[in-house]
Amino acid sequence: MAYYIEYAALCDKGFVREKNQDNIWCNGHFFNSENDGLIEPLTGTIDISTMPAFALFDGMGGEQQGEMAAFLAASNFDTIQQKSEKTETKTFLLDACRELNKAICLYQTENHIRHMGTTAAILMCGMDAIYICNLGDSRIYQFSRKKLTQITQDHVELSVTQGKAPLTQNLGISEEEFIIEPYIAKGEYKRGDRFLICSDGLTDMVTDEQIAGVFKKKMSLQQTAQTLMDMALSNGGIDNITIIICSILKKKKISTTDFRVSLSNTI
DSSP 200-239: HHHHTTS-HHHHHHHHTT---HHHHHHHHHHHHHHTT--S
Q: In the CATH hierarchy, which top-level class contains the domain 3-250?
A: alpha beta
Indicate the domain borders of the chain: 3-250
Mean pLDDT, 10 residues at a time, over the chain (267 residues)? Answer: 92 95 95 92 94 96 83 97 82 96 96 93 94 98 97 91 86 92 97 97 98 96 98 97 97 49 45
pLDDT for the residue numbered 115: 85
pLDDT, residue 265, reads: 52
Distance CA 226, CA 243 (A): 9
> How far is it, in rounded angstroms, from Cα 112 to Cα 128?
45
Helices and strands in the chain: count of H runs, count of E runs: 5, 12
pLDDT at 130 (0 to 100): 96
Answering whether pTM is above 0.75, one says yes
**Would you give the DSSP letter of residue 5?**
E
Q: Which residue in 189, 169, 190 sits closest to 181, CA to CA? A: 169
What spatial distance separates the first Cα and last Cα of the chain, rounded to whole Å? 34
113 phi/psi in degrees, rounded to 5: -105, 135
3-state SS class at 173: coil
Helix (H, G, I), strand (E, B) or coil at 143: strand
